């Protein structure tokens, strides 16, 4: 990853990283990413066609040594502090989309939470909210 991404691109990188954290790019997670990009105000004006190139860039970066650290540091550098919780919430949404959060996803969320300095109570509220939304009958 050579250029500094835009704020929106950084958020997509975070979501894509969460999607592939367990080495399984689940269709339901990709659908969740597209839905979030389509509907959330933070993505207003974002070109949905950018999702594929960003996903490819994310995959290339993750394949490099320390790629996960690079993605997290890039996100922290690109995002204003007021969007740190937003980035964490988007990652939690993607992890929750397939209802089963695997150990790799949980580890990534922990790394994001720490790097972005998301307060414990805020993180717990974000996580609880996602669990409630994705419950099944």
CATH of the domain at 13: 1.10.3680
- Asked whether the predicted pLDDT for residue 3 surpasses 80, the reply is no
Task: State how far the alpha carbon of 56 is from the alpha carbons of 1, 16, 41, 43, 122, in Å.
Answer: 11, 9, 24, 19, 31
Confirm whether 37 is domain-assigned.
yes
Place 1 in a pLDDT band, splitting at 50, 70 and 90.
low
- Asked whether the predicted pLDDT for residue 99 surpasses 80, the reply is no
* pLDDT (mean) for 84-102: 89
Please answer whether residues 105 and 22 qualify as being in contact, where contact means their C-beta atoms are separated by less than 8 angstroms.
Answer: yes
Confirm whether 2 is domain-assigned.
no
Question: How many CB atoms are closer than 10 A to CB 20?
Answer: 19
Domain count across the chain:
1
Confirm whether 1 is domain-assigned.
no
Domain of residue 40 covers 7-133
């Amino acid at each position: 990853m050579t250029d500094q991404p835009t704020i929106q691109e950084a958020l997509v990188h975070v979501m894509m990283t969460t999607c592939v954290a367990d080495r399984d790019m689940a269709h339901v997670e990709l659908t969740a990413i597209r839905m979030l990009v389509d509907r959330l105000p933070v993505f207003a004006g974002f070109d949905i066609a950018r999702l594929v190139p960003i996903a490819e860039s994310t995959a290339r970066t993750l394949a490099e040594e320390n790629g996960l650290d690079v993605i997290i540091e890039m996100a922290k550098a690109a995002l204003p502090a007021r969007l740190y919780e937003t980035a964490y919430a988007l990652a939690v949404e993607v992890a929750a989309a397939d209802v089963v959060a695997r150990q790799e996803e949980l580890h990534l969320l922990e790394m994001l939470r720490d790097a972005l300095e998301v307060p414990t109570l805020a993180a717990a509220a974000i996580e609880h909210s996602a669990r409630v939304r994705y419950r099944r009958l």
